[in-house]
Amino acid sequence: MSDRLLSFKDILLVGFFLSIGLEGTPPGAAWVIGLFALLLVPARSFGFFWLFTRFRLRARTAVHGSLTLSTYSEFGLIVGAAALSAGLIDQAWVSTIAVAVSGSFVVASAANRVRYRFYDRWSDWLHRFERRPTIGEDAVIDCGQARVLVFGMGRVGAGSYDELVIRRGQVLVGVERNEETAARHRAVGRNVVRGDALDRDFWERVRFHPEVDLVFASTSSHAANLELVGRVREFLPNARIAAIATYPDQVEELRAAGVDVARNLYVEAGQALADDAVGVMFGDQG
């Protein structure tokens, strides 16, 4: 619903800009004032960046947030149009606001295209503005020496985690979105961090071992597992992926998405139960 409403809002916004433009070409003074307002956009961006770092956000988060918020709001046009209807201002001022708002969108679009290169180039200088300690919700998550990641620490994820510890040793980390569940796992000795695998911010602030070789997608949602596969392919392209499903067609979808090992949870459980039952039966006969 959010995606649909956002598209509808964009259509209305375009129509609103067109209605402003149809009122006539902005006079020269409107262009001058509007361009002067655009010169203040970098100052707005730095102001937001400074505020975000004062609230103990990481420099990376502050940069991205400040660039997103640095544009002039289209609601300024709505207020201007309302003031024009009330006779408080004339059309020239509405045109001036339109120049500033639309120009800030253009500037922001260009800045967003180079935001990652900008951060990589100036990161050392930007880090000087950070305040320590960083708030927990934005702190860097260090997975240490973990070579195997288990996303979703429910019953299947916890069982996989324990079996892999037996086979591979303490080179695992579990990722669980619910803090209470993660705390319970940590209380019994499992290495579990809190994080939402579907949140891009999580992937941008987590630090993996450079040789992660296996990822388990064991969340309770098939759609979430598919999305997780895409994230792993983007951020850990060399890692192998194993995932669970509850229906045969879901297994095929996971394989088509690039999963190396996909298993139907209920079919595998049924086969294991049948194998054990046959073993007991033949054992009794022996």
Which residues contact residue 200 at a Cβ distance below 8 angstroms, ignoring those fewer than 6 apart? Answer: 231
Tell me the C-alpha distance between 217 and 258, whole Å: 12
Whether residue 285 has pLDDT greater than 60: no
Which residues contact residue 189 at a Cβ distance below 8 angstroms, ignoring those fewer than 6 apart? Answer: none
**pTM as predicted:** 0.56
Predicted confidence (pLDDT) per residue in 43-54, tens digit: 888 999 999 888
**Residue indicated by tokens 């001036």:** 96
Predicted confidence (pLDDT) per residue in 251-260, tens digit: 888 888 888 9
Region 3-21: what's the mean pLDDT?
Answer: 65
Region 13-22: what's the mean pLDDT?
Answer: 64
Which residues contact residue 117 at a Cβ distance below 8 angstroms, ignoring those fewer than 6 apart? Answer: none
Tell me the C-alpha distance between 3 and 9, whole Å: 10
On whether the CB atoms of residues 243 and 216 are closer than 8 A, the answer is yes
Q: What is the mean pLDDT of the chain?
A: 79
Residues of the chain with CATH 3.40.50.720: 140-285
> What is the band of 24 on the pLDDT scale with cuts at 50, 70, 90?
low
For the record, the structure tokens of 77 come out as 């046009």
Check residue 286 and give its pLDDT: 47
User: CATH for 140-285?
Assistant: 3.40.50.720
> What is the band of 246 on the pLDDT scale with cuts at 50, 70, 90?
confident
Best CA proximity match to 215, nearest among 232, 193, 198: 232
Best CA proximity match to 142, nearest among 210, 57, 227, 225: 210
Mark out the alpha helices in 40-150 (DSSP H runs): 41-54, 59-69, 75-85, 91-113, 115-126
> What is the band of 37 on the pLDDT scale with cuts at 50, 70, 90?
confident
The residues facing 173 across adjacent strands are: 149
Tell me the C-alpha distance between 244 and 267, whole Å: 11
The residues facing 217 across adjacent strands are: 151, 243
Check residue 7 and give its pLDDT: 67
Which helix or strand (DSSP H or E) is residue 184 part of?
A: helix 179-187
Whether residue 199 has pLDDT greater than 80: no
Tell me the C-alpha distance between 73 and 15, whole Å: 16
> What is the band of 16 on the pLDDT scale with cuts at 50, 70, 90?
low
Tell me the C-alpha distance between 42 and 27, whole Å: 25
Predicted confidence (pLDDT) per residue in 62-71, tens digit: 888 888 888 8
Whether residue 238 has pLDDT greater than 80: yes
Q: 21 or 44: which carries more pLDDT confidence?
A: 44
For the record, the structure tokens of 236 come out as 């850990």
DSSP 26: P
Tell me the C-alpha distance between 114 and 111, whole Å: 5
Region 16-45: what's the mean pLDDT?
Answer: 76
Tell me the C-alpha distance between 226 and 207, whole Å: 22
Predicted confidence (pLDDT) per residue in 108-162, tens digit: 888 878 877 787 788 888 888 888 777 766 666 777 788 888 998 888 888 888 8
Whether residue 272 has pLDDT greater than 60: no
Tell me the C-alpha distance between 242 and 218, whole Å: 8
Check residue 187 and give its pLDDT: 92
Check residue 185 and give its pLDDT: 92
**Torsion-angle region of 169 (φ positive above 0: left; ψ -120 to 50: alpha; else: beta):** left
For the record, the structure tokens of 257 come out as 């998405």
For the record, the structure tokens of 159 come out as 């069982």
Whether residue 194 has pLDDT greater than 80: yes
